[in-house]
Structure 1
């Protein structure tokens, strides 16, 4: 039997971080395992020698993995190097950070995670860029009560996720409107955590749960009427496709990373940071619960249903394997 080619996936976050980079790295490792000898590391080289026989390096995040990317390019200039831009590197770092810019120049292929991603790259680099939409497993769409509108927000408390929009929206809503917000995310910024606690004290319809295991978060998304995703910067959020594949529609800030996943004509966008616009959409969805046709909530669910096939695992795996085949 022919020996499988080997691939090393470098991710700046491992399992303890439970964030998007780790979820992507772990999923890709599983998808590639039948075709490649795969190992997951936090940095390369991960052995004393840079001549370890690895055939391909796939590095997530142009800035955080920059040292590994440079080391590989110096030790193996003819061997394929793939850099996946996963969020803050695409929409912040490559504009000003020399190490991130060097990563783009050294890569033989660039991967972005949603359809708007290539537009953020310098035009000269777009020819070596490929879009690999992320995927997850489908979950059953659950029947949900009309007595209240259950909203879930899933994102660690850091500025890029812009949780301040949720805090303000909770204060604009009154408890008797029947709109309840569950906010899931670890305390990465103490000031934002304190704001979450203060919002919880003054708004009985808002609850911050802190960090939860991935499976528990998915279950809450599945049971909610809506996922709200208020980020100011996003490479391609896992929670959006997880919601879509659970039959849970999404309200999202109109930023490139969200539009690239949900489509330019999606009806559930609000301007980034605009809590009043978000509250207006929430009230529209709440009002739709009492309408025979489901109103705005049903419209969003139908639109998300049309996007769901794009986030199937076999689709992501086929595109990822195709990108790697180009290089071998």
Structure 2
């Protein structure tokens, strides 16, 4: 079958949407399909379209329905689709969601935040991650925590940096931030924080192999987002056995589980600081975070993701015999 994946992220982009499109294309080729990834759809015939992003891909969805109305359509919902654009751009976002024969959510609580009429078409596809070659010994003189992702509003990117500004003298907590600034404002904020906060180090955008090396060496990861569709970096941490401290938003709870002990109140610097200090000082607490993450790891294997994609494709195409 010919499958067209539409993503707003151009070739070479390091955005999550592009990485997801390329990974899904590999999985679908492994199932015997012919795949291509495009950023703009121009009415070319295809046997199935997968649109990554309901709002940003609405033009492609409209074009498909106007020119090839019988072609099955799958729409993958991002965090901004679910938690922003349903409210700010309801007509376009709602159109893509309503026209889809199947919807993909990247965490298992998406159904709580979309219209009930769409629940029968919703499938969860957890994003997969490859295991690290090996864990590296941590820096003994510091308790390093990583924050991984582009610096932008949705990520509340400097929350961990703020949490380590005022710590007891004997704390070894240190935050390493990886990712480029979304705009000049975030660039300035990160540079100022790096210059004024001795416990914060912004590395900017680094190659993928360096990200994985940091993940192999740091003691934990912080994901401080205010909205997430299901961050792949959480999958990567679980597969790596890397403890996570996460904001208590649906996108994190839908990946780590209701009973995960490492949540803090979103945007609450004091609450995050308390958990970071507990992780540094309480070995049993840190071990419990790691054990919970490792228990979730089987959800995030490439084989699991491929099987989930196969179920969605079969469901979307089943309506057409």
Quickly name the TM-score band, shorter chain normalised: over 0.9
Q: 2:290 aligns with which of 265, 287, 301?
A: 301
Distance between the aligned counterparts of 1:173 and 1:16, measured in 2? 40
1:106 maps to 99
Contact 1:287 1:295 in 2 (8 A): no
2:157 maps to 163
Aligned residues: 314
Distance between the aligned counterparts of 1:156 and 1:81, measured in 2? 30
Give matches, 1:275-294, under 5 Å.
275-288=269-282, 294=283
Query: What whole-Å deviation, never above 9, does each CA across 1:201-249 have from its counterpart, x for those lacking one?
Result: 1221210011112222122112110000000010011111111111111
Question: Secondary structure at the residue paired with 1:13?
Answer: coil
Query: What whole-Å deviation, never above 9, does each CA across 1:237-268 have from its counterpart, x for those lacking one?
Result: 11111111111110000000000000011000
1:44 maps to 41
Unaligned runs of 5+ in 2: none
Distance between the aligned counterparts of 1:117 and 1:133, measured in 2? 12
Query: What whole-Å deviation, never above 9, does each CA across 1:262-316 have from its counterpart, x for those lacking one?
Result: 001100000011111111111111112xxxxx22111100111100001011001
Distance between the aligned counterparts of 2:169 and 2:144, measured in 1? 13
Contact 2:139 2:217 in 1 (8 A): no
The answer to whether the aligner puts 1:11 opposite 2:7 as a matched pair is yes
2:109 maps to 116
1:212 maps to 206
The answer to whether the aligner puts 1:135 opposite 2:124 as a matched pair is no
TM-score by length of 1: 0.92
Query: What whole-Å deviation, never above 9, does each CA across 1:114-142 have from its counterpart, x for those lacking one?
Result: 01112111011111111101101112344
Question: Secondary structure at the residue paired with 1:22?
Answer: helix
Give matches, 1:45-124, under 5 Å.
45=42, 50=43, 52-97=44-89, 98-124=91-117
Contact 1:11 1:25 in 2 (8 A): yes
Q: 1:314 aligns with which of 285, 295, 303?
A: 303
Task: State the 4+ residue runs in structure 1 displaced beyond 3 angstroms.
Answer: 141-147
Unaligned runs of 5+ in 1: 289-293
TM-score by length of 2: 0.94
Distance between the aligned counterparts of 2:233 and 2:38, measured in 1? 24
Distance between the aligned counterparts of 2:181 and 2:169, measured in 1? 25
**In terms of mean alpha carbon deviation, does 174-183 or 56-65 score higher?**
174-183
Query: What whole-Å deviation, never above 9, does each CA across 1:157-196 have from its counterpart, x for those lacking one?
Result: 1100002312321312356511111001111132222121
Distance between the aligned counterparts of 1:93 and 1:175, measured in 2? 44
1:125 maps to 118
Q: 1:203 aligns with which of 189, 197, 207?
A: 197
Distance between the aligned counterparts of 2:8 and 2:206, measured in 1? 21
**In terms of mean alpha carbon deviation, does 210-219 or 224-233 score higher?**
210-219
Residue 145 of structure 1 deviates from its aligned partner by: 4.8
Residue 144 of structure 1 deviates from its aligned partner by: 3.2
Q: Which of structures 1 and 2 has the larger relative contact order (alpha carbons within 8 angstroms, sep 6+)?
A: 2
2:268 maps to 274
1:27 maps to 23
Distance between the aligned counterparts of 2:7 and 2:45, measured in 1? 19
Q: 2:239 aligns with which of 242, 245, 251?
A: 245
The answer to whether the aligner puts 1:323 opposite 2:312 as a matched pair is yes
Residue 24 of structure 1 deviates from its aligned partner by: 0.6
Pairwise CA RMSD of aligned residues?
A: 1.4
